[in-house]
């Protein structure tokens, strides 16, 4: 399981939600981390552009950072749009004050100067403050082409220029630099040229197959252009990351997303190069899977491609059986038809016709043979000795249960020979063979879904009859022993164990909506087969 | 699939991330929706309290709202902390201007007055503006006890008071009111008394069993106290929602989270009462599953209990086989051992000893019997005619493949009788029986994992040998036909179909990390069994 880490972003706010702290916080959440924020400036912004900016006073920027750092254990920090020289200084001051004499967590500096839509987001005089005061504290700086050009006062137009620029950028003070190549046109041949001139560079190709993955290769003109990013680390090692360029207008907030994903990966304890690989892949997928109906301009990335809605709520003390509850409430009407069946009600009143009870008990005897075989199949499908043990323990219970059935039958004048020779009813065959078919079709969990409608339903019936004292007659009821068996300790313990097994199965391998639908279908089918079983006995159908 | 909707929150910013727009945006994301925001005030805040507040100028509040509404198709709006009278007016102004002559989406007003930590968040003069100008636009207002008391200028201490208060709150102008009972102590008996005096009220019990769910009931002193919320709608219908009270200090941002979840559910098209049920359940679970290591005061809720990290990236044009790529790169070393095996290299060069090739082809013949049986089992486990069809089509391919094997054997001096009577090697039995065991243990997808290492690996070997012209000798190579068979159109088409099936299986039922680990284990085992199979032939082991 992923451990949640806390991250602080110091950046601007984007009302449109695609960039700024909004993109950062969404990225942290998508990656399973907790985000805090200090806002340097508000923008009234949408996918078409920036309509207005409201700078936050430097003292308030500093106060926000302090409030977060004083209370939270922060595992990584990122800076985005710092707006002006004063807010850049306020940021540096807040960090230096808090971390004086303490180790500062990794700091990712995204030197945001201009928005995707072309709006200037950093006052020119702030650049020198950023270089002289913030970069020396920085673990990783993540400029794009124009930001690197501004920082170095020279133009960068080729992959070779990029590699050279990372050398000079690292001299400005950060421990490492990731120069982003999104705005530089490169082809596979350009990459080849760069790598043959720089054999020392490590290369990471993402979405570009090779190395014994020929069968997965994709080709086509759309894969001709690449995005190449260059990472240079403190030891001067260079990693070149290449992936196919995506032709997309959903790129609003790409830089924010990347630097947030970097901070998140560093908070999780990844090395710089691992963090860069994960964060660039995350960002690339954010563009590739973006919703295109958000705003009419440069739309935001999809930050949530890495998560899915859960189909089953978590187990909590107040709701320890959320999965079973979902199954039962999901088809409450058919569950009620089953557990409140007329057969059950007549049985509770002691007025069920004797012939119906005999038919039930005889058919149940046949059904239990299927049921024992299905549990044997469950044992054969079980991955551990404990699961094999609990399945065979249930078979043991069933073998004892049939003794009770034989005794019952004796009381009701049916000999064991007669019991054995009575043919199965259609309801018994349908239910029994359905269990076996599910056992062949699916895995152990799916078979459990089929087996539990019987276990849990009889447990519910037992408790209901026991609790409904006003109309249920126990004294002199010819079926009293049946009621006491299913409300008794042994069956209720089996119910408890069954609930634990099914909840554990659903919690340890949370089902996707599709799988949940499959499981529900099995549960519902068995619930109906139970009703049919009682119908059959009540109406003496064969 | 859930359709993403856009929501606008107009509220304060909480640097600590647990409340304000940060909680709202995280809630929207957790519920699969897209959030935009207009910030009315910044707070420098953490779990211990509010250290400072910076109000945003009213014109800038208005501009942010306008920027969002001008560009996005907003499906619901919520207001939280509006800070003061001017910003409340600016909010009303912006909404009225934009929606003049247009239908406004549902508006949830959370009348935030005081923070969980006790800090005042709304200037007193703003309350009248809220009542007279904002409430008439409001779909649902969500006050807690003290906010309702402030709005009505009277005290509320019992469930009866709450029910009465909702009548007067709705007279203030909103279409509906949800009065939250988190700060009112109630027991099951209080709820009973309320409901017998108000039989017209609909009651929703969450996490409180009953109604044919006796087997799921939980009891204990911790379930003695309830939280009761009351919803009154425009038609005067009343819904009383009750759930067990959670004793927790992770309640920072509860109100923000609830109103955000309400806006999200309304954006999705739920009715008011559905939205209230979903949003209160979401918020309750946020408290129940909160991380308790965030800050030293009243910690934030967990907003992400409803999502899980995906184990497999989405399919994109640049990465159409993400799941297979994950399998192959996840155990790249053993995959490479398999597809670049010495046996394969000698075969490519034409220098593989004849005896090794004969042993291989004879054992492969035996293996293919298992393989055909395993595909038959796959057909038996298949849920649709098309999947049954594709499994049996593969069996057809195998039956043709054994003809090739017989012909090969003839060329190499092995008669069909000899072929049939040669015993299986240990490597063949191990691999063949492993396929059958996985087939018995698991479902169709797990069996596919076992079957594909062979299909895909031979496809990779074929392509690799075909492509590596410099050292592979085709002319005069005694094994040329083998190379051409596996690099040829028929086998490559089967590879393509296999890839589609496996990717479709993983995408339609995304595996949890636990299930992915099971699948990986099967894939890795088969990859190693393939290597052992070639080892066995190369070294003539039986």
pLDDT at B458: 95
Phi, psi of A58 (to 5 degrees): -55, -40
Helix, strand, coil in percent for chain B, rounding step 5: 55, 15, 30
To the nearest whole angstrom, how far is the Cα of B463 from the nearest Cα of chain A?
Answer: 7
d(CA A541, CA A427): 9
Under a CB-based contact definition with an 8 Å cutoff, are residues B112 and B252 in contact? no
Partner-chain contact A66 B56, CB within 8 Å: no
To the nearest whole angstrom, how far is the Cα of B487 from the nearest Cα of chain A?
Answer: 10
To the nearest whole angstrom, how far is the Cα of B486 from the nearest Cα of chain A?
Answer: 12
Partner-chain contact A44 B67, CB within 8 Å: yes
The 8-class DSSP code of residue B173 comes to S
pLDDT digits 0-9 by tens, A60-107? 999 999 999 999 999 999 999 999 999 999 999 999 999 999 999 999
pLDDT at A208: 61
Question: What percentage of chain A reaches a pLDDT higher than 70?
Answer: 97
Position A339 pLDDT exceeds 90: yes
- For B226-237, what is the mean pLDDT? 96
Under a CB-based contact definition with an 8 Å cutoff, are residues A49 and A121 in contact? no
Position B212 pLDDT exceeds 70: no
**Which chain A residues contact residue B310 at CB under 8 A?**
305-308
Q: Which residues of A are catalytic?
A: 180, 251, 253-256
Mutate to test the interface with B, among A23, A45, A295, A318 (most CBs of B within 10 A): A318
The 8-class DSSP code of residue A120 comes to B
pLDDT digits 0-9 by tens, B384-406? 999 999 999 999 989 988 988 89
Quick one: A100 exposed, middle or buried, by C-beta within 10 A (0-12, 13-18, 19+)?
exposed
What part of B 418-457 touches A (C-beta under 8 Å)? Answer: 440-444, 446, 456
Compute chain A's Rg from CA coordinates: 34
- For A16-28, what is the mean pLDDT? 98
For helices A480-487 and A385-411, give the axis angle rounded to 10 degrees. 170
Please state, as a whole number, how many other Cβ atoms lie within 10 Å of the Cβ of residue B382.
18
Under a CB-based contact definition with an 8 Å cutoff, are residues A72 and A5 in contact? no
How do B107-109 and B186-187 pair as beta strands?
unpaired
pLDDT at B317: 82
- For A26-49, what is the mean pLDDT? 97
Nearest of B246, B247, B245, B264 to residue B303 by alpha carbon: B264
Q: What 3-state class would DSSP assign to B339?
A: helix
- For A287-291, what is the mean pLDDT? 94
Quick one: B520 exposed, middle or buried, by C-beta within 10 A (0-12, 13-18, 19+)?
middle
Exposed e or buried b per residue across B194-207, where buried means at least 16 C-beta atoms within 10 angstroms of its C-beta? bbeeeeebeebbbb
Partner-chain contact B297 A71, CB within 8 Å: yes
Contact status of A322 with chain B (Cβ, < 8 Å): no
Contact status of B328 with chain A (Cβ, < 8 Å): yes
d(CA A81, CA A37): 12
- For the residues of A188-210, what is the DSSP string, one character each? HHHHHHHHHH-TTSEEEESS---
Under a CB-based contact definition with an 8 Å cutoff, are residues B117 and B297 in contact? yes
| pLDDT category of residue A542 using cuts at 50, 70 and 90 | confident
Separation of first and last alpha carbons in chain A: 53
Contact status of B222 with chain A (Cβ, < 8 Å): yes
The alpha helices in B384-425, defined as continuous H runs, are 385-411, 416-421
Contact status of B322 with chain A (Cβ, < 8 Å): no
Mean pLDDT, chain A, rounded, equals 93
| pLDDT category of residue B207 using cuts at 50, 70 and 90 | low
- For A132-137, what is the mean pLDDT? 97
pLDDT at A404: 85
- For A199-206, what is the mean pLDDT? 89
Nearest of A77, A29, A13 to residue A307 by alpha carbon: A29
Under a CB-based contact definition with an 8 Å cutoff, are residues B250 and B260 in contact? no
Q: Residue A178's beta-bridge partner residues?
A: A231
Most confident of A213-217, B96-100, B311-315: B96-100
Position A6 pLDDT exceeds 70: yes
For A180, half-sphere exposure in the C-beta direction (CA atoms, 13 angstrom radius) is: 26
- For A442-457, what is the mean pLDDT? 95
Point out the residue among A32, A328, A441 whose CB comes nearest to the CB of B309. A32
Under a CB-based contact definition with an 8 Å cutoff, are residues B343 and B534 in contact? yes
| pLDDT category of residue B47 using cuts at 50, 70 and 90 | very high
Helix (H), strand (E) at residue A467: helix A444-467
Distance of CA B198 to the CA centre of its chain: 41
pLDDT at A163: 97
d(CA B522, CA A236): 41
| pLDDT category of residue B142 using cuts at 50, 70 and 90 | very high
Q: Residue B178's beta-bridge partner residues?
A: B231
pLDDT digits 0-9 by tens, B277-290? 999 999 999 999 99
Mutate to test the interface with B, among A15, A304, A522 (most CBs of B within 10 A): A15
Nearest of A233, A271, A121, A257 to residue A182 by alpha carbon: A257
pLDDT digits 0-9 by tens, A410-432? 988 999 999 999 999 999 999 99
Question: What percentage of chain B reaches a pLDDT higher than 90?
Answer: 82
Helix (H), strand (E) at residue B273: helix B272-288
pLDDT digits 0-9 by tens, A209-228? 556 678 887 777 667 889 99
Position B222 pLDDT exceeds 80: no
Under a CB-based contact definition with an 8 Å cutoff, are residues A80 and A13 in contact? no
Contact status of B246 with chain A (Cβ, < 8 Å): yes
| pLDDT category of residue A317 using cuts at 50, 70 and 90 | confident
Helix, strand, coil in percent for chain A, rounding step 5: 55, 15, 30
Residue that the structure tokens 């403050």 belong to: A129
d(CA B148, CA B172): 11
pLDDT digits 0-9 by tens, B423-461? 999 999 999 999 999 999 999 999 999 999 999 999 999
pLDDT at A207: 66
Please state, as a whole number, how many other Cβ atoms lie within 10 Å of the Cβ of residue A111.
28
d(CA B72, CA A189): 41
Under a CB-based contact definition with an 8 Å cutoff, are residues B121 and B128 in contact? no
Better-predicted residue by pLDDT, A116 or B139: B139
Under a CB-based contact definition with an 8 Å cutoff, are residues B362 and B414 in contact? yes
d(CA B67, CA A48): 9
pLDDT digits 0-9 by tens, A359-387? 999 999 999 999 999 999 999 999 999 99
d(CA B129, CA B512): 50
Under a CB-based contact definition with an 8 Å cutoff, are residues B428 and B367 in contact? yes
CA geometry: angle at A151 spanning A147 and A154, to 5°? 90
Contact status of A501 with chain B (Cβ, < 8 Å): no
d(CA A522, CA B142): 41
Partner-chain contact B309 A306, CB within 8 Å: yes
- Find, in chain A, the residue whose alpha carbon is nearest to that of B223: A318
For helices B342-349 and B513-538, give the axis angle rounded to 10 degrees. 50
Position A305 pLDDT exceeds 80: yes
| pLDDT category of residue B209 using cuts at 50, 70 and 90 | low
**Which chain B residues contact residue A446 at CB under 8 A?**
443
Partner-chain contact B381 A243, CB within 8 Å: no
Contact status of B399 with chain A (Cβ, < 8 Å): no
Position B210 pLDDT exceeds 70: no
Point out the residue among B16, B26, B463 whose CB comes nearest to the CB of A71. B16
Catalytic residue among B79, B254, B283, B445: B254
Residue that the structure tokens 């009548």 belong to: B167
Nearest of B502, B510, B310 to residue A512 by alpha carbon: B510
pLDDT digits 0-9 by tens, A472-486? 888 999 999 999 999
Give the pTM.
Answer: 0.93
| pLDDT category of residue B2 using cuts at 50, 70 and 90 | confident
What part of A 81-100 touches B (C-beta under 8 Å)? Answer: none
């Amino acid at each position: 399981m992923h451990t949640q880490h806390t991250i602080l972003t110091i950046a601007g706010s984007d009302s449109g939600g695609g960039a700024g702290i909004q993109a950062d916080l969404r990225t942290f959440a998508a990656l399973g981390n907790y985000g805090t924020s200090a806002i340097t400036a508000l923008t009234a912004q949408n996918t078409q552009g920036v309509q207005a900016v409201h700078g936050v006073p430097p003292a308030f920027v500093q106060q926000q950072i302090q409030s977060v750092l004083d209370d939270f254990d922060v595992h990584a920090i990122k800076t985005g749009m710092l707006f002006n020289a004063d807010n850049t200084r306020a940021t540096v001051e807040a960090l230096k004050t808090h971390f004086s004499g303490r180790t500062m967590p990794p700091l990712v500096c995204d030197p945001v100067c201009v928005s995707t839509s072309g709006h200037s987001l950093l006052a020119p005089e702030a650049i020198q403050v950023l270089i002289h005061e913030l970069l020396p504290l920085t673990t990783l700086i993540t400029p794009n082409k124009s930001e690197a050009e501004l920082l170095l006062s020279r133009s960068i137009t080729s992959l070779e220029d990029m590699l050279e620029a990372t050398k000079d950028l690292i001299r400005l003070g950060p421990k490492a630099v990731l120069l982003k190549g999104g705005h530089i046109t490169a082809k596979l041949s350009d990459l080849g040229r760069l790598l043959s001139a720089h054999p020392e560079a490590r290369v990471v190709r993402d979405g570009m197959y090779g190395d014994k993955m020929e069968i997965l290769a994709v080709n086509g003109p759309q894969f001709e252009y690449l995005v190449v990013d260059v990472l240079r680390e403190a030891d001067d090692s260079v990693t070149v990351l290449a992936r196919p360029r995506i032709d997309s207008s959903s790129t609003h907030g790409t830089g924010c997303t990347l630097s947030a994903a970097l901070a998140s990966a560093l908070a999780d304890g990844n090395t710089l190069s691992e963090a860069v690989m994960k964060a660039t892949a995350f960002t690339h997928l954010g563009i590739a899977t973006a919703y295109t109906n958000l705003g009419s301009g440069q739309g935001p990335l999809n930050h949530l491609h890495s998560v899915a809605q859960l189909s089953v709520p978590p187990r909590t003390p107040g709701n320890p059986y959320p999965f079973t509850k979902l199954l039962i409430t999901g088809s409450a009407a058919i569950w009620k038809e089953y557990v409140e069946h007329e057969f059950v009600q007549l049985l509770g009143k002691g007025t069920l016709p004797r012939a119906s009870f005999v038919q039930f008990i005889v058919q149940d005897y046949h059904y239990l043979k299927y049921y024992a075989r299905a549990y044997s199949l469950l044992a054969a499908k079980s991955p551990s000795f404990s699961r094999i043990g609990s399945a065979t323990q249930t078979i043991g219970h069933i073998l004892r249960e049939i003794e009770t059935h034989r005794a019952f039958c004796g009381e009701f004048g049916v000999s064991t020979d007669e019991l054995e020779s009575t043919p199965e009813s259609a309801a018994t065959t349908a239910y029994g063979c359905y269990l076996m078919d599910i056992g062949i079709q699916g895995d152990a969990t799916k078979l459990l879904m089929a087996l539990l409608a019987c276990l849990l339903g009889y447990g519910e019936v037992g408790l209901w009859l026991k609790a409904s004292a006003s109309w249920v007659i126990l004294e002199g009821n010819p079926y009293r022993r049946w009621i006491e068996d299913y409300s008794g300790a042994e069956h209720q313990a089996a119910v408890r164990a069954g609930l634990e097994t099914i909840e554990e199965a659903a919690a340890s391998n949370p089902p996707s909506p599709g799988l949940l639908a499959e499981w529900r279908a099995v549960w519902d089918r068995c619930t109906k087969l139970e009703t049919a079983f009682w119908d059959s006995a009540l109406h003496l159908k064969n």
